[in-house]
Structure 1
Amino acid sequence: MNIIYKASMLFLAVTLFTACGDKAKESEPAKEETSAAPQSDIVEITAQQFKSAAIELGSIESKALSGTTKVNGILDVPPQNLVSISTPFGGFVKSTSLLQGMKVSKGQLVAMMQNPDYIQPQQDYIDLKSQLNYLKQDYDRQVQLSKENINALKTLQKSKAEYESVRARVAGLRSKLQLMNVNIGSLEAGNIQNAIPLYSPINGYVTQVNTNIGAFVNAEDVLFKIADTGNLHAELTVFEKDVPKLQIGQKVRFTLANESKERTATVALIGREISAERTVQIHCKLDKEDRTLLPGMYLKALVESGSSQVPSVVSKAIVEFEGSKYLFIEDDKTKDAKNDGGTHFKMVNVKTGVSELNFTELIFDEGTEYQSWKVVTNGAYDLLSKMKNSGEEE
């Protein structure tokens, strides 16, 4: 009986405790649910905040982001715009002032070469030149005597042969000395050079310096490389399966590895040989020359195939928040209504499509007048942060 009584009392106590707990919960005021979501879709910033956040405005552009071919490549120069400078005859580097990156002009002195061996061909030229003058006079005399039937024909023929032989040797030496950049006029006046100059054959920039003063270089050694960067082209590598999509004149959009700026080019040549890697090289002429670019720069490109244009915006203009994507656009109506001197931006929910080469497709409902929007293309996440902070304070 005591056991039944104790069990009944324990059950009654538990029931009373549970009931009191429920009443306590009912008596507590309901806590408001908090959310990090902004309370408004409008954010206002001052002129100083605009500047410190580096806000930049742009527009929604039409671009071909579908039906394009993604390729990689490098910037290169045509063979006629890339020069390797060597000495025609081995020698020591007497002087040079070239440094990598220096600008040089066509005909500019780039180095002086020195070698005792440069003296001998100049001496031979002067010696043969003197013999040639004598033989020319002798030959002219024999021709005159032959006309008067005074000398034998054999004598005339021998004089002519000697004259022609020396004349050929003088012409050969002249050509050799011209390759050495020896001043022939000065040499014929008796001035022998112990050093020869090297000149730049093009305008351009020094891309390689492979020597120094006092170094001995052979004729096959490359001392300097000079590139005319005004005629750079994009050399792209295209896989075999994408070759049928290519045509001369197609537009190419590309970005360099060290920048986000988009540049354009036009397909000029399509290779006719497939490499061992099953790729084809295509050459594209840059639509706008930029002499600050350098050969060998890596790039990523899109070759447009003439597909329809879609509205797109710079990818960094799009911010993500709580699973949705937004743009910030300048809101002139709020600015005019408040008339407080600040800049107002409205956060607009958007749908996106393909993303290629730093641009993202935007998908709008029919009738959306996005053409006049001034979109924040830089600093959008700063605006989102300020909007969230303002929402939490409220």
Structure 2
Amino acid sequence: MKTNKYRLQSLRIALFSASILLAAGCSGSKEEKAGPAHEEHHHEEEGTVELSAIQYRSVGIGLGAVQPRQLTGLLKVNGLLDVPPQNQVSISVPFGGILKDTDLLQGKWVNKGEVIARMEHPDYIQMQHDYVDAQSQLGYLESEYKRQQELSRENVSAMKTFQKAEADYQSTRSRVEALKQKLSLLNIRAENILKTGILRSIPVVSPISGYVTEVNANIGKFVQPNEVIFEIVDTRHLHVELMVFEKDVPKVREGQQVRFILANESKERLAEVHLIGREISPERTVRVHCHLEQEDKNLLPGMYLKATIETGASQTDALPNEAVVNNGGKYYFFTQLAGEEAHQPSGKEAEADTHEDDEQHGYRFQAVEVGVGVTDNGYTEVILPEGFDRSARNIVLKGAYDLLSAMNNSEEEGHSH
């Protein structure tokens, strides 16, 4: 009896153990089947994105090819406003002196020929005295020269006496002319000294009309010869000075239109390329001189600007703007991978098989990095990767932004797992 009881108990234990092993085997089998599928779902090829049929139709993917188009070239550069050398002057005096008076301040407008300051120094007085003295001697020496010339012609006086009179006259005449030119440098008319007398101070005259930009001396200061006292700029004739990189210089031509915006403005101004520099700076740029279409004396030299040079139309590979997307500072377009053509059922077939279609059909796309150039009239110039088939018609022309968003979301989910 006991033997039968022990045998029955052993049989029950064996059956229970077998059932546990069977359950464990089934569980392991399911995990093995599920594991690879799960891994495949979350490890898609980098740079690709997959859409279901519903997503494909919802986005409205449109395919096409690269198109050759005439695009107007736009060259973006930086620059500043500047003035020609003849419209900017540094004012000084050739002979040192003391600044007696001036009312100039930075920003004041002065006219050409206007007296802007007065200088004084004993040397100015001495120079005028020397001129008057030399001029007086010249009158006497001229009379003596003519008298000796007449006597020499009649052989009344010796030739030596005539030659001495001629030398004295010519020397004094030259001295008078030299003093006259020196006084002219001081803005003094020598002829007026003989009428009005010697001047104690001399005038400093503006050679151009413009705004005062620098005042480097105060009243009572001794100004050294040729030391700059004032700087004046005529801002009515400013020009645009652009810095163009050497690789872009061949695209620039005289007469091309330039559009620019100043750093402190939002409105666009126009200019025209006038001259192209012939020297490359250490920064590998060339200066391009442009004339303003409409001058404005309220503008200031040195203002920074951003400009666009219209370099003309040229034939180039292009895609619609919406087909090219920016991701992390790089540009891409998408291509639909081969064998992933859209299945577009219609009528009753569409209604009956929509669910089945959504489950069975997926559409995969590849992001292709591309270089970009000018943008014009809704199209962007593209520089295709080497070996890319220009005749391919599987480029996504519509829906690229949706694909980029889906690809980024998929990558974020992959990182989170």
Does TM, normalized by the shorter one, top 0.5? yes
1:211 aligns with 2:200: no
| The one of 293, 297, 310 aligned to 1:291 | 297
Q: CA offsets per residue over residues 36-69 of structure 1, 9 Å max, x none?
A: xxxxxxxxxxxxxxxxxxxxxxxxxxxx996211
Tell me which moved more, 104-113 or 115-124: 115-124
| 2:306 alignment partner, SS class | strand
- Which structure has the larger Rg over C-alpha atoms? 2
Q: CA offsets per residue over residues 190-218 of structure 1, 9 Å max, x none?
A: 61112100111111111111121111111
Q: Which has the higher helix share?
A: 2
Q: Is contact 1:254–1:302 with CA below 8 Å preserved after alignment?
A: yes
Q: Which amino acid aligns with 2:169?
A: Y
Q: What is the CA-CA distance between 1:185 and the residue it aligns to?
A: 2.5
Q: Is contact 2:72–2:376 with CA below 8 Å preserved after alignment?
A: no
Q: CA offsets per residue over residues 278-305 of structure 1, 9 Å max, x none?
A: 1111100001111110111111111111
| 2:283 alignment partner, SS class | coil
1:99 matched to which residue of 2?
A: 105
Within 1, Cα distance between the matches of 2:122 and 2:171?
Answer: 27
| The one of 247, 251, 257 aligned to 2:253 | 247
Q: Is contact 1:65–1:355 with CA below 8 Å preserved after alignment?
A: no
Q: Which amino acid aligns with 1:295?
A: P
Q: Is contact 1:229–1:294 with CA below 8 Å preserved after alignment?
A: yes
Q: Is contact 1:99–1:206 with CA below 8 Å preserved after alignment?
A: yes
Q: What is the CA-CA distance between 1:355 and the residue it aligns to?
A: 12
Within 2, Cα distance between the matches of 1:65 and 1:214?
Answer: 65
2:8 matched to which residue of 1?
A: none
| The one of 278, 282, 302 aligned to 1:276 | 282
| 1:159 alignment partner, SS class | helix
Q: Which amino acid aligns with 2:83?
A: V
1:191 aligns with 2:183: no
* TM-score normalised by the chain length of structure 1: 0.61
2:356 matched to which residue of 1?
A: none
Q: What is the CA-CA distance between 1:265 and the residue it aligns to?
A: 0.3
Within 2, Cα distance between the matches of 1:65 and 1:78?
Answer: 35
Q: Is contact 1:355–1:361 with CA below 8 Å preserved after alignment?
A: no
Within 1, Cα distance between the matches of 2:72 and 2:307?
Answer: 14
1:51 matched to which residue of 2?
A: none
1:264 matched to which residue of 2?
A: 270
Q: Is contact 1:73–1:236 with CA below 8 Å preserved after alignment?
A: yes
Q: Which amino acid aligns with 1:87?
A: V
1:109 matched to which residue of 2?
A: 115
Within 2, Cα distance between the matches of 1:190 and 1:264?
Answer: 54
1:149 aligns with 2:155: yes
2:177 matched to which residue of 1?
A: 171
Within 1, Cα distance between the matches of 2:137 and 2:268?
Answer: 68
| 1:305 alignment partner, SS class | strand
Q: What is the CA-CA distance between 1:189 and the residue it aligns to?
A: 3.0
2:333 matched to which residue of 1?
A: none
| 2:313 alignment partner, SS class | coil
The size of the alignment, in residue pairs, is: 253
Q: Is contact 2:72–2:312 with CA below 8 Å preserved after alignment?
A: no
Q: Which amino acid aligns with 2:182?
A: K
- Alignment map for 1:332-347 (pairs within 5 Å): none
Q: What is the CA-CA distance between 1:220 and the residue it aligns to?
A: 2.3
Q: Is contact 2:124–2:200 with CA below 8 Å preserved after alignment?
A: yes
Q: Which amino acid aligns with 1:107?
A: G
- Alignment map for 1:1-394 (pairs within 5 Å): 67-189=73-195, 191-307=197-313, 363=378
User: Which 4+ stretches in 1 moved above 4 angstroms?
Assistant: 360-364
| 1:280 alignment partner, SS class | strand
| 1:68 alignment partner, SS class | strand
Q: Give the unaligned 5+ runs of structure 1.
A: 1-63, 309-353, 365-394
Tell me which moved more, 244-253 or 210-219: 210-219
* TM-score normalised by the chain length of structure 2: 0.58
